[in-house]
Structure 1
Amino acid sequence: MTDWQKSSTSGNSNQCVEVRTAAGRIEIRESDAPESIVTTTPTKFALWLEGVKRGEFDHFTHS
């Protein structure tokens, strides 16, 4: 199990997404709610990141 990692652009903020690997899986949590952990596979996580980079989820952040 690796340590939780957050984006370097988060600075010292406690409101960010953190990620780590554990037993061949990817775990994701919000730093301000560390008890809630989402688990996925490395393949699914990589596909999601590709979608984020392409802007597929931008409509969720715009009102």
Structure 2
Amino acid sequence: MGLDQAGAQWRKSSRSGNGNNCVEVATNLLTPTGRVLVRDSKNPTTAVLSISPNDWQAFVRGASRGRFTA
């Protein structure tokens, strides 16, 4: 059973520029679903990840500290 994405407002980082190597996030559905939705900006019709708010915050903290850079 899929998560209802109706009304999702997708956004990507302002740092992504014109590139398509980004993820998009929808946090506006957090209250009704309790989840943060994440998808690939290159393929927005493919699978959507559903992440807990705590896990999303941990990811954002790690990314801002450069934890995931090559």
Q: Please, what TM-score do these two structures have when normalized by structure 1?
A: 0.73
AA partner of residue 23 (structure 2): V
- The two structures, once aligned, show a CA RMSD in angstroms of 1.7
Q: Which residue number in structure 2 is paired with residue 28 of structure 1?
A: 38
Deviation at 1:9, TM superposition (A): 2.5
**Taking structure 1 as reference, are residues 56 and 11 closer, same or farther at Cα in structure 2, changes over 3 Å only?**
closer
Quote the sequence identity (%).
39
Q: Deviations over 1:4-60 (max 9, x none)?
A: 0111233444442100033220011111111121111111100111111112211xx
Matched, 1:57 2:57: no
Consecutive unaligned residues of structure 2, counting only runs of 5 or more, are 1-6
Q: Structure 1 runs of 4+ off > 6 angstroms?
A: none
Q: What TM-score do you get using the length of structure 2 for normalisation?
A: 0.67
Distance in 1, Cα, partners of 2:21 & 2:68: 19
* Structure with greater proportional strand content: 1
